[in-house]
Amino acid sequence: MSEQASRAASSSLPHDTRIALYVPTLAGGGAERVMLKLAGELVRRGYSVDFVLNKREGAYADQLPDGLRQVVTLQRQPKWQARLTTLRAAPEDWKALSRPVLFAKTPVMSLRYVASLADYLRRERPDVMISALFYANLGAIWARRLAGVDTRLVVSQRNTLSRLIADGLSHDGPRWRWQYLPELLARSYAHADRIVAVSDGVADDLAEVIGFDRDRVATLYNPVVSEQLTQRAAEPVSHPWLASKDEPVILGVGRLEPQKDFRTLVAAFAVLRRQRKARLIILGEGSLREALEAQIRDLGLGDDVALPGWADNPCAYMRTANVFVLSSAWEGLSAVLIEAMACGCPVVSTDCPSGSREILQDGRCGPLVPVGDASGLAQAIAQVLDTPTPADALIQRASEFSITASTDRYLECMASVLQ
């Protein structure tokens, strides 16, 4: 978008508008990065921004942008008080609240901050608040109702709800949280001023799962690409495999958790490695590290696969790698896929719900492979190694997910709810 168009979008929301952004923590996830980027761009454009957190902790805790009006850390209530607070906030929804919230042995952590968030809203009265991650969204909705203020509330759905529920139901533990989530979200999201999703696929899925009309859910793409990303991508990378480039390097980036399905990526690499020389680097940490290390050992790939943990600058890896692979079982709108494209790195992705097909324009910017298909993923990686997508085309497509363009859309959204 041109600078003139950007100024026009900014002018639609008066600069004396006070904005609050709310996420539970600054853990190393996509939603947290998005909110930090949005905060930085809003501050750059002259808006007054509060950043509200349950806890000031996580991988991005030291990356809060300069110029924020304040960073607010909420206070946690005891479990029994949190239950009463939630019931006071939404007494007519007690049936939907009862099993997943009121009678739960362990209440969801975010709900223990509802009273403190309500105190913040009464005290500071921001004009508009944007929340992200569905338990934070629920907390924001109940806090605003409890506070009785006229702050406008935009809740953001970051991931494919049906897949989150299916994954939750497939694991041991408190399955009630997932079984009753659709009804709880349906009754609660009805009280938000605007519901937004990070991709059309996420919006379609959310509307279907909670029974809303599709036109009640707007799509706002995440702010991903920035000038800083381009600058950081140009920095040197220290990993010896990328420094020497004596063999092609495949790259994966993300939490070592079931959603990212790096087991399939490792299995695909084993297939590829039988056909040609290559190396695989997976950046990230998580609960599946030991399982992945065991899989790598069992497949005899110890000399060709590296799990170096989190990297402070994954973009430098993306710029240098031969192929970036997104192996996820589900996503909302993969920021790392967009970042890799912005770095000019050829990409391969699973056709997971949701976002990848939208980002890659139905496969025109990189192959799409069925989720969990190791042999198909290996074939797609080999195809891109042999015939990489031109970097210019990838960079051009990624520019449509720029921080400037996304912030313009958020400003238009906030202006509309304030009207």
Indicate if 264 and 382 belong to the same structural domain. Answer: yes
Residue 80: C-alpha distances to residues 140, 161, 165, 175, 187 (Å): 19, 28, 26, 21, 22
- The pLDDT mean for the chain works out to 91
**Which pLDDT score, from 0 to 100, does residue 129 have?**
98
Indicate if 167 and 262 belong to the same structural domain. Answer: no
**Which residues are registered as beta bridge partners of 347?**
324
Neighbours of 27 (CB within 10 A): 16
Arithmetic mean of pLDDT, 274-293: 96
pLDDT tops 70 at residue 171: no
For 365-414, write each residue's pLDDT tens digit. 999 999 999 999 999 999 999 999 999 999 999 999 999 999 999 999 99
Query: When comparing pLDDT for 178 and 56, which is higher?
Result: 56
| Residue of 413, 34, 360 whose CA lies nearest to 217 | 413
For 332-360, write each residue's pLDDT tens digit. 899 999 999 999 999 999 999 989 999 99
Name the H helices within 90-175: 94-97, 114-124, 134-147, 161-169
Arithmetic mean of pLDDT, 131-144: 92
Indicate if 145 and 238 belong to the same structural domain. Answer: no
Sheet holding 152-157, edge to edge: 70-73, 48-53, 18-23, 128-132, 152-157, 194-197, 217-219
pLDDT tops 80 at residue 177: no
**Which pLDDT score, from 0 to 100, does residue 180 have?**
79
Helix (H) or strand (E) holding 26: none
Indicate if 308 and 413 belong to the same structural domain. Answer: no
Helix (H) or strand (E) holding 92: none
For 305-333, write each residue's pLDDT tens digit. 999 998 989 999 999 999 999 999 999 89
> Do the Cβ atoms of 139 and 113 come closer than 8 Å?
yes
For 80-131, write each residue's pLDDT tens digit. 888 888 888 888 877 777 766 666 666 566 789 999 999 999 999 999 999 9
Indicate if 138 and 246 belong to the same structural domain. Answer: no
Which letter does DSSP use for residue 102 in this model?
I
Indicate if 231 and 114 belong to the same structural domain. Answer: no
**Which pLDDT score, from 0 to 100, does residue 253 have?**
96
Lowest average pLDDT, out of 5-14, 50-59, 76-85, goes to 5-14
Indicate if 99 and 239 belong to the same structural domain. Answer: no
Q: How far apart are CA 411 and CA 5, in angstroms?
A: 12
For 219-249, write each residue's pLDDT tens digit. 999 999 988 899 999 999 989 999 887 899 9
Q: Count of alpha carbons within 13 Å of 126, Cβ hemisphere only? A: 29
**Which pLDDT score, from 0 to 100, does residue 29 have?**
75
Q: How far apart are CA 139 and CA 25, in angstroms?
A: 14
**Which pLDDT score, from 0 to 100, does residue 6 have?**
46
CATH of the domain at 354: 3.40.50.2000
Indicate if 181 and 234 belong to the same structural domain. Answer: no
Torsion angle defined by CA atoms of residues 55, 61, 62 and 68, in that order, rounded to the nearest 10 degrees: -60
Q: Tokens in use for 99?
A: 């099993």
Indicate if 257 and 191 belong to the same structural domain. Answer: no
Q: How far apart are CA 268 and CA 374, in angstroms?
A: 4
| Residue of 85, 145, 89, 137 whose CA lies nearest to 121 | 145
**Which residues are registered as beta bridge partners of 70?**
50
**Which pLDDT score, from 0 to 100, does residue 4 have?**
47
Q: How far apart are CA 264 and CA 154, in angstroms?
A: 36
Q: Tokens in use for 80?
A: 């029994």
For 179-208, write each residue's pLDDT tens digit. 778 888 999 999 999 999 999 999 999 999
Which residue range is the domain that position 302 belongs to? 227-401
> Do the Cβ atoms of 200 and 358 come closer than 8 Å?
yes
Indicate if 210 and 292 belong to the same structural domain. Answer: no
| Residue of 131, 110, 108 whose CA lies nearest to 32 | 131
**Which pLDDT score, from 0 to 100, does residue 33 have?**
86
**Which pLDDT score, from 0 to 100, does residue 107 have?**
56
Arithmetic mean of pLDDT, 156-182: 75
For 7-38, write each residue's pLDDT tens digit. 444 558 999 999 999 999 998 677 898 899 99
Indicate if 260 and 334 belong to the same structural domain. Answer: yes
> Do the Cβ atoms of 262 and 288 come closer than 8 Å?
yes
Domains of the chain: total: 2
What is the 3 state secondary structure string of 203-254? HHHHHHHHCCCHHHEEECCCCCECHHHHHHHCCCCCCHHHHHCCCCEEEEEC
Indicate if 315 and 407 belong to the same structural domain. Answer: no
**Which pLDDT score, from 0 to 100, does residue 2 have?**
46
* pLDDT tier, 3 (very low <50, low <70, confident <90, very high otherwise): very low
Residue 317: C-alpha distances to residues 232, 236, 284, 291, 388 (Å): 10, 9, 13, 24, 17
Q: 3-state DSSP helix/strand/coil percent for the chain, to nearest 5? A: 50, 15, 35
Neighbours of 391 (CB within 10 A): 14
Q: How far apart are CA 356 and CA 349, in angstroms?
A: 7
